[in-house]
Amino acid sequence: MKNPRTLDWERLGILYLRLALGASFLSGIADRFGLYRGRNVGYGNFVGFIHYTAKVNSFVPASAIPFLAWAATALE
């Protein structure tokens, strides 16, 4: 049987990891919608993300690229 104090630390650790993972996903979405400004920004806005999606999925027809970008954002 585990010590109750150990159990509390485990629960706090799990909560911390969940919050950190959630923040990292939300950070990527915030970048896509232009909430970050500066030199070291990945996309800067959603148009930049659509261009990136087009580069990564160059084998997909151009008409499907906006759908893929929105689908990736929604699923993330």
Phi, psi of 8 (to 5 degrees): -65, -40
The amino acid at 47: V
Q: How far apart are CA 49 and CA 58, in angstroms?
A: 14
pLDDT at 32: 84
The predicted-structure confidence for 9-68, as pLDDT tens digits, reads as follows 888 999 999 999 999 988 888 888 888 877 777 778 889 899 999 999 999 999 999 999
Rounded Cα distance between 13 and 49, Å, is 33
Q: DSSP secondary-structure letter at 40?
A: T
> Among all chains, which residue has been given the structure tokens 């919608």?
33
Q: What is the pLDDT of residue 4?
A: 66
